[in-house]
Amino acid sequence: MTICGLDFGTSNSTIGVLHNRVQTMVPLEQDAQGNWQTTLPSALFFGFDDDEISFGRQAMVRYTQGESGRLMRSMKSLLGGSFMGDTTQVKNRFYSFDEIIGFFVGSLRQQAQTFMADGSSLDSVVIGRPVFFNDDDPALDREAEAHLAAIAKIAGFRDVSFQYEPIAAALDYEQQVKTEELALIVDIGGGTSDFTLVRLSPERHLQADREADFLANNGIHIGGTDFDRRLSIAGIMPEFGFGMPMADRPSLNMPGHYYHDLATWHKIHLLYTRDVQRELQSFRLTVSDKQRLDRLIELLKHRKGHSLAGLVEQAKIELSDRSETQVHLDGLFTDSNDISVDSCTLTQQLLEQSLQRDVEKIFLALNETLQQAGVSAQQINTVFTTGGSTALPMVTACIDSAFPDAKQVAGDLYNSVGSGLLLEAVKRYS
């Protein structure tokens, strides 16, 4: 029996296998510097010229090099949402989103099997899931898990089960715990923020039934892709006409939904249609600043929405350790002289202002986790952080001020959940 743990993330995915009795995170792809990485960006590219599908960094490279095709990112955000089960047209074929997620999950399984190089087939998997795929609707939440289970079975797994992502991170962290402690696990990724309050110790780690150790789990559907959206709306979308009034009716603005979709990773493709081009051309007759709208029209015509979102994400990351950064919008337009766009400055102050409400909501959900268990902040010994968005200084500052007496341990941002899922898989299936 071959066993693995699979962290299908909104932004990055990992797969860990039990290989020659050793628990190993599979090296999935080389980065631009040629170093093997255990993360695969959750991205997929359908090439229109060769009908080849690429995944991860390779998918992003093909897209950014301007190859004709369709990029998909943040596919996990479709699970539990109103698009779940929908189809989308790629060239002249319709694919369900489940099928597309299936291509990605199937490629992770295939890569792990290739890595093991002994012809073994991966049968049993523990897949990570956020505490809530949908914050408000338990039926949609259950449906999302059922979709992911069906996708994994079609991808070739025989035994499929789930574990909450923050519980997996707790199990990973517990390997370095020396004495009993009460830990709060904080996993803020690309799509969701998830929390677990747990008693950890080397002795408890060995026990079969951990039910009583996990005191509370909670989560909220806010993560790094929402931060990208907020920053984009506040600092970039106005350059493309967001909020601009109509010339003939100054009380009326250009409709906001185009900009919200353009700033939302998993909705960008909705704008690459002839209907949207037609609508935007008709607004051109009435907007106050045609140049800004022309930027939007050109951007969508050349399907550069994901490139723009990538620039915003990059700027957000750069603002982790500098007070301002430039977003070079001019690189998005190769041969358009008449839309006059250069670079745009984004500041840490703007980032913090635009994220403030989301971060407050995340910390409300975090506090609810403690309330559910009747535990006070002073009782927490350790706050363990994982997930890319915990690198944000405003997140660590909030943790510092909420838990001044607790030890703050920064885990591996990208592998902690995956390692814990593998530990769980070994426990369940071996």
* Residues that bind Mg ion in the complex, under the rule CB under 5 A: 9, 189
Contacting residues for 341 by C-beta, under 8 A, at least 6 apart: 239, 295, 329, 330, 332, 333
Contacting residues for 68 by C-beta, under 8 A, at least 6 apart: 47, 48, 49
| 316 scored as a contact of ligand ATP (CB under 6 A) | yes
Chosen from ligand ATP, Mg ion, none, partner binding at 388 (C-beta under 5 to 8 Å by type): ligand ATP
Nearer to ligand ATP, 163 or 339 (CB): 163
Q: Report the nearest approach of Mg ion to the CB of residue 52 (Å).
A: 28
Beta bridge partners of 128: 163
How many other C-beta atoms are found inside a 10 Å radius of the C-beta of residue 429? Answer: 17
**Residues 246, 293: Cα–Cα separation, whole Å:** 11
Q: Report the nearest approach of ligand ATP to the CB of residue 134 (Å).
A: 14
DSSP E strands, 80-180: 87-90, 93-96, 124-129, 159-164
Q: Report the nearest approach of ligand ATP to the CB of residue 159 (Å).
A: 23
| 414 scored as a contact of ligand ATP (CB under 6 A) | yes
Chosen from ligand ATP, Mg ion, none, partner binding at 171 (C-beta under 5 to 8 Å by type): none
Region of 80-88, 184-192, 281-289, 421-429 interacting with ligand ATP (CB under 6 A): 184-192
Region of 45-53, 84-92, 138-146, 218-226 interacting with ligand ATP (CB under 6 A): 218-226
| 223 scored as a contact of ligand ATP (CB under 6 A) | yes
3-state secondary structure of 234: helix
**Residues 277, 192: Cα–Cα separation, whole Å:** 32
How many other C-beta atoms are found inside a 10 Å radius of the C-beta of residue 427? Answer: 14
Site string for ligand ATP, 351-390 (x = CB under 6 A): ------------------------------------xxx-
Nearer to Mg ion, 40 or 287 (CB): 40
Which sign does the torsion angle of CA 42, 45, 46, 50 carry? negative
Nearer to ligand ATP, 10 or 54 (CB): 10
- Of these, 56, 80, 102, 191, which contacts ligand ATP (CB under 6 A)? 191
Q: How far is CA 250 from CA 62, 94, 155, 243, 295, in A?
A: 42, 41, 54, 11, 21
Region of 7-15, 117-125, 340-348, 422-430 interacting with ligand ATP (CB under 6 A): 7-15
- Of these, 16, 69, 80, 190, which contacts ligand ATP (CB under 6 A)? 190
Nearer to ligand ATP, 10 or 124 (CB): 10
| 166 scored as a contact of ligand ATP (CB under 6 A) | no
Q: How far is CA 366 from CA 171, 188, 190, 258, 362, in A?
A: 19, 11, 17, 32, 6
In degrees to the nearest 10, what's the CA dihedral of 288, 292, 293, 297? 170
| 235 scored as a contact of ligand ATP (CB under 6 A) | no
| 16 scored as a contact of ligand ATP (CB under 6 A) | no
Helix (H) or strand (E) holding 41: strand 40-41
Among positions 92-151, residues that touch ligand ATP (CB under 6 A) are none
**Residues 81, 97: Cα–Cα separation, whole Å:** 11
Among positions 386-405, residues that touch ligand ATP (CB under 6 A) are 387-389, 391-392
Give the CA angle between residues 42, 44, 49 to the nearest 5°: 165
Structure tokens at 297: 């029209």
Number of residues that bind ligand ATP (CB under 6 A): 24
Nearer to ligand ATP, 107 or 192 (CB): 192
Beta bridge partners of 197: 184, 216
3-state secondary structure of 179: coil
Q: Report the nearest approach of ligand ATP to the CB of residue 189 (Å).
A: 3
Chosen from ligand ATP, Mg ion, none, partner binding at 102 (C-beta under 5 to 8 Å by type): none
Nearer to ligand ATP, 331 or 393 (CB): 393
Region of 108-116, 137-145, 245-253, 312-320 interacting with ligand ATP (CB under 6 A): 312-320
- Of these, 4, 6, 10, 219, which contacts ligand ATP (CB under 6 A)? 10
Q: What is the total residue count of the chain?
A: 430
CB 383 within 8 A of CB 399: yes
**Residues 68, 89: Cα–Cα separation, whole Å:** 15
What residues make contact with ligand ATP under the rule CB under 6 A?
9-12, 76, 165, 189-192, 223-225, 313, 316-317, 320, 387-389, 391-392, 413-414
